[in-house]
């Protein structure tokens, strides 16, 4: 049975659960919330449902119930490679089933049949100013393909709630299959003297991406690892939430993903990985072009905080311990690039920053997040244009958010519309005269 048939069975089996919860248990209370949560970005208010991943504050992310280590061990891999097929991971995110190698290869073949990027996408990218941020180019490339949307055609032909997931799935898969070429094209056009490399469709998602970037193995495995690690972080983060919110208006996957990527481009979210790298470069440069002493580094961290800036790559809205995505990338560095100078600085920051942030007393989570490690690996493999790092994050994040909105349509989730209040109303509730 192919991915789409398996997905259909899963959807049919899941629907009664959602219907039962809504019809029979709709009045059950999930919790209470406070003025602080209302003003403070909705932290901790349980108002979203997703089965694609769950983020435990202490343990970190689980994709479909599996830890990162379990995903990397259990999912099928290309021969001789250390990390799984990204296409097999898409199967897993959508269905919750670990695919066999044969099932993963079916998805590899399906992606290839959808991979051709329309010429007008390249024309639009070429017409944009070359100094545009790569995230703006990336988000625009997806938005401009909206005319291809099968969901949009389905809606215009007469919308049916029960079958709406089908064309959402088609759009999601069409988009994902094209992302490696779009991302690599932006990179080569903008940073490598406008020398795009033609795709090699004999390769899988990660392999073809590395090939089009012009970076040799093991960068293909770095790409597989990176896309899987960045795919999903439950649904309340800015990129996932935005994608979900826009899709809840029955906007198609092109409109929704493009919007989500614009959220990812913010410095408190995905852009943090570029900020981490530029900041580490600054540490390196200002502290003598070598691995600094601990004392110098401590002073530099305090100077950063005292200037009113945050320590990029540290802290998290939900996590309260070291991000396992950080740990996973750290293990990669320890294995493949232990002597790299930037990695040594990252490791030293890990030794001192949590203590400094605790003493500083503001951040609820003094531990590193995913962004604190990822740029260093890219730099090591020659991808030194750190403006581009969030695009890599975006390619990975697309898998999670598109799996989510496919299921949103399958389960008929409602248009999102939380209620707002005025400050005067809050003052009244608080008893302020």
Binding mask 288-307 for ligand FAM (x = CB under 6 A): -----------------x--
- Residues between 254 and 273 that touch ligand FAM (CB under 6 A): 268-270, 272
Pattern 369-408, ligand FAM, x by CB under 6 A: xxx-------------------------------------
Piece in contact with ligand FAM (CB under 6 A), picked from 18-26, 135-143, 357-365, 422-430: 357-365
Among 62, 178, 241, 316, binds ligand FAM (CB under 6 A): 316
Number of residue whose CB is nearest ligand FAM:
315
8 Å CB contact between 8 and 99: no
| Residues 110-149: x where in contact with ligand FAM by CB under 6 A, - otherwise, as a string | ----------------------------------------
For ligand FAM, which is the closer residue by CB, 43 or 192? 43
Please count the helices (runs of H) and the strands (runs of E) in the chain. 20, 2
Region of 59-67, 362-370, 373-381, 401-409 interacting with ligand FAM (CB under 6 A): 362-370
Q: Should residue 349 be labelled a site residue for ligand FAM when binding is judged by CB under 6 A?
A: no
The H or E element spanning position 179 is helix 164-191
DSSP string, 232-276: ---S-SHHHHHHHHHHTTT--HHHHHHHHHHHHTSTTTTTHHHHH
Shortest CB 171 distance to ligand FAM, Å: 25
Side-chain-side CA neighbours of 361 within 13 Å: the count stands at 1
Pairwise CA distance, residues 391 & 18, whole Å: 35
- Rounded to whole angstroms, how far apart are CA atoms 103 and 7? 13
Q: What is the C-alpha to C-alpha distance for residues 70 and 392, in angstroms, rounded to an integer?
A: 23
For ligand FAM, the closer CB: 95 or 369: 369
Please report whether residue 1 would count as binding ligand FAM according to CB under 6 A: no
- Give the span between the Cα atoms of 406 and 412, in whole angstroms: 10
Query: What letters, b where the CB count within 10 A reaches 16 and e where it falls short, cover 25-46?
Result: eeeeeeeeeeeeebeeebeebe
**Looking at beta carbons only, is 158 or 308 nearer to ligand FAM?**
308
By the rule CB under 6 A, 99 interacts with ligand FAM: no
Report the alpha-carbon distance of residue 154 to residue 172 in Å, rounded.
14
- Tell me: does residue 108 bind ligand FAM (CB under 6 A): no
How far is the C-alpha of 142 from the C-alpha of 259, rounded, in Å?
A: 10
**320 part of the interface to ligand FAM, by CB under 6 A:** no
Q: Please say if 269 is a catalytic residue.
A: yes
Taking the least distance from each CB to ligand FAM, the nearer of 5 and 36 is 36
Question: Contact at 8 Å (CB) between 228 and 396?
Answer: yes
| Torsion sign across C-alpha atoms 109, 113, 114, 119 | positive
Q: Interface with ligand FAM by CB under 6 A: which range of 142-150, 278-286, 288-296, 315-323? A: 315-323
Q: How far is the CB of 368 from ligand FAM (least distance, A)?
A: 8
* 313 touches ligand FAM (CB under 6 A): yes
Return the number of the residue (367 or 380) whose C-beta is nearest ligand FAM. 367
Give 310 or 411: the residue with its C-beta nearer to ligand FAM: 310
Bond before 218 cis per omega within 30 degrees: yes
CA 424 distance to own-chain centroid: 38
User: What is the C-alpha separation between 193 and 189, in angstroms, rounded?
Assistant: 6
User: Which residue in the set 199, 260, 263, 315 belongs to the binding site for ligand FAM (CB under 6 A)?
Assistant: 315
316 is catalytic: yes
If we measure between CA atoms, which residue out of 233, 243, 260 comes closest to residue 408?
243
**DSSP per-residue letters across 85-117:** -HHHHHHHHHHSSPPPHHHHHHHHHHHHHT-PP
> Which one, 139 or 173, has the nearer CB to ligand FAM?
139
Q: Which stretch binds ligand FAM (CB under 6 A): 97-105, 130-138, 326-334, 363-371?
A: 363-371
Given the residues 166, 252, 316, 323, the one annotated as active site: 316
How many residues lie near ligand FAM (CB under 6 A)? 21
> Could you tell me how far CA 59 lies from the centroid of its own chain?
18
Quote the CA–CA distance of 184 and 383 in Å, as a whole number. Answer: 12
Q: Of these, 69, 364, 427, 429, which contacts ligand FAM (CB under 6 A)?
A: 364
Which residues of the shown chain bind ligand FAM in the complex (CB under 6 A)?
237, 268-270, 272, 305, 310-317, 362-365, 369-371
Q: Which amino acids are annotated catalytic?
A: 269, 316, 371
């Amino acid at each position: 049975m192919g991915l789409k048939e398996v997905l259909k069975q899963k959807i049919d089996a899941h629907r009664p659960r959602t219907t039962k919860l809504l019809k029979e248990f709709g009045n059950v209370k999930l919790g209470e919330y406070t003025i602080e949560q209302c003003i403070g970005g909705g932290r901790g208010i349980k108002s979203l449902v997703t089965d694609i991943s769950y983020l435990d504050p202490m343990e970190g992310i689980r994709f479909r119930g599996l830890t990162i280590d379990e995903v990397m061990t259990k999912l099928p891999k290309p021969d001789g490679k250390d990390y799984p097929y990204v296409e097999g991971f898409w199967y897993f995110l959508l269905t919750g089933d670990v695919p066999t190698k044969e099932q993963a290869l079916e998805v590899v073949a399906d992606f290839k049949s959808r991979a051709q990027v329309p010429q007008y996408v390249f024309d639009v990218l070429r017409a944009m100013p070359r100094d545009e941020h790569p995230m703006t180019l990336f988000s625009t490339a997806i938005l401009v393909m909206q005319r291809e949307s099968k969901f949009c055609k389905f809606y215009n032909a007469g919308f049916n709630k029960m079958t709406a997931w089908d064309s959402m799935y088609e759009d999601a898969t069409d988009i994902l299959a094209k992302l490696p070429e779009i991302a690599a094209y932006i990179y080569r056009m903008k940073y490598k003297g406008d020398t795009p490399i033609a795709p090699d469709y004999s390769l899988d998602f990660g392999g073809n991406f590395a090939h089009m970037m012009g970076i040799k193995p093991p960068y293909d495995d770095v790409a597989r690892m990176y896309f899987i690690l960045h795919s999903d972080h439950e649904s309340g983060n800015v990129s996932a939430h935005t994608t979900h919110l826009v899709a809840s208006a029955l906007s198609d996957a092109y409109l929704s993903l493009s919007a989500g990527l614009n959220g990812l481009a913010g410095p408190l979210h995905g852009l943090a990985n570029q900020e981490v790298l530029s900041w580490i470069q600054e540490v390196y440069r200002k502290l003598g072009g070598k691995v600094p002493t601990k004392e110098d580094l401590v002073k530099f961290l305090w100077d950063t905080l005292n200037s009113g800036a945050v320590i990029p790559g540290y802290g998290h809205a939900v996590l309260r311990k070291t991000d396992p995505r950080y740990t996973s990338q750290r293990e990669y560095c320890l294995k493949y690039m232990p002597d790299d100078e930037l990695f040594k600085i990252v490791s030293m920051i890990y030794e001192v920053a949590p203590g400094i942030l605790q003493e500083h007393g503001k951040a609820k989570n003094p531990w590193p997040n995913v962004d604190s490690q990822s740029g260093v690996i890219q730099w090591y493999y020659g991808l030194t244009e750190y403006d581009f790092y969030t695009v890599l994050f975006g390619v990975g994040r697309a898998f999670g958010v598109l799996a989510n909105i496919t299921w949103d349509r399958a389960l008929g989730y409602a248009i999102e519309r939380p209620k707002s209040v005025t400050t005067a109303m809050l003052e009244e509730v608080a008893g302020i005269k």
